[in-house]
Amino acid sequence: MTTPASTEPTLEDFEHHYADVNGTHLHYVTGGSGEPLVLLPGWPQTWWQFHKIMPALAERYEVIAVDYRGMGSSDKPEAGYDKKTMARDVYELVRHLGHERVHVAGEDIGAMVAYAYAFAANHPDATRKLALWEVGHPGDVFNELRMLPQPGQPHLWWFAFNQVDDLPEKLLAGRYRLLIDYLIGIESTDPDAIDEASRNIYAAAHEQPGAVRASNAWYQTFGQDIEDARAYDPLRMPVLGLGGMNFGFVPALLEGKATDVRYVEMKGAGHYLSQERPEELTRELLAFLG
């Protein structure tokens, strides 16, 4: 076990580690035994967003929760935030751990990296099964999103806000908790499911030098991600697409992109499924992964 950074929370029976892969330094948390299962988190959180589902998953799998490039205690380099490069980071981490094939699951930005995983390394057989939720890899549907609020459609204003250079870092310095609370307030149907301690963990992670710049870069590369995806062949491994309040995006982004896919809508759920609906999400993942 490697001593975690002072800002990192601990989870019983899980260990913190670090690895140098693909020119960057990644932090990851492991526990359990069995077939390896890689978990990739979303914005604006860290690996900790999976803390409610990791113990149950670890009863059957070797769980590997990754802070990918730009997140948490991982490095925040100047470049490399297209999802193909980020997926290559994860692929090399998997090889570093001695695994040939893994299950991959991701939420939000993590879903984008998970989807790109099989292609970025040009080894589609490296993925046993893929689960993604809220929402999926950037596709042409992203180009149709409106700047102004539209009736019946989510207003994802932060897609534009995160495209701006420098200003978000200055506005959010020392105030990131305000954004955390705001996003949970509008993107969750059960805000109390994300407790005070977790909110502070996410805010502290984004107060680190370079953290806002790096997380903005995940969004600033969407144009490249969309272009990269046009060259991808359909996924051949089994795919599970889940969603709560943004479920509509999941089939829209997967249409024509996978040959063996099934969908599960968690009606009444918000965006943060791993924290709002941990038991239901765990049940669906276990049933799918087998």
Range of the domain at 60: 15-289
The active-site residue, picked from 68, 81, 176, 219, is: 219
The string of pLDDT tens digits covering residues 233-245 is 899 999 999 999 9
Assess contact for 104 and 238: CB atoms under 8 A. Answer: no
- Asked whether residue 5 is domain-assigned, the answer is no
232 is a catalytic site residue: no
- Asked whether residue 212 is domain-assigned, the answer is yes
Return the pLDDT at 55: 98
- Asked whether residue 3 is domain-assigned, the answer is no
Distance CA 208, CA 64 (A): 23
- Cα separations in angstroms, 58 against 12, 50, 62, 287: 11, 12, 6, 14
108 is a catalytic site residue: yes
Number of domains making up the chain: 1
182 is a catalytic site residue: no
Return the pLDDT at 2: 56
Assess contact for 106 and 39: CB atoms under 8 A. Answer: yes
Other CB atoms within a 10 A radius of the CB of residue 238 amount to: 19
- Asked whether residue 111 is domain-assigned, the answer is yes
Distance CA 4, CA 234 (A): 39
The active-site residue, picked from 16, 103, 206, 271, is: 271
- Asked whether residue 85 is domain-assigned, the answer is yes
Return the pLDDT at 120: 60
Return the pLDDT at 153: 83
The active-site residue, picked from 108, 117, 202, 272, is: 108
Nearest to 47 by CA among 74, 29, 26, 70: 29
- Asked whether residue 160 is domain-assigned, the answer is yes
- Asked whether residue 99 is domain-assigned, the answer is yes
The string of pLDDT tens digits covering residues 23-77 is 999 999 999 999 999 999 999 999 999 999 999 999 999 999 999 999 999 999 9
CATH number of the CATH domain containing 176? 3.40.50.1820
- Asked whether residue 6 is domain-assigned, the answer is no
Distance CA 173, CA 206 (A): 9
Predicted TM-score of the model (pTM): 0.96
Residue 130 sits at the vertex; the CA angle it makes with 74 and 195, to the nearest 5 degrees, is 55
Nearest to 68 by CA among 91, 37, 100, 51: 91
Ranges of the chain whose pLDDT falls below 70 = 1-7, 120-124
Assess contact for 80 and 69: CB atoms under 8 A. Answer: yes
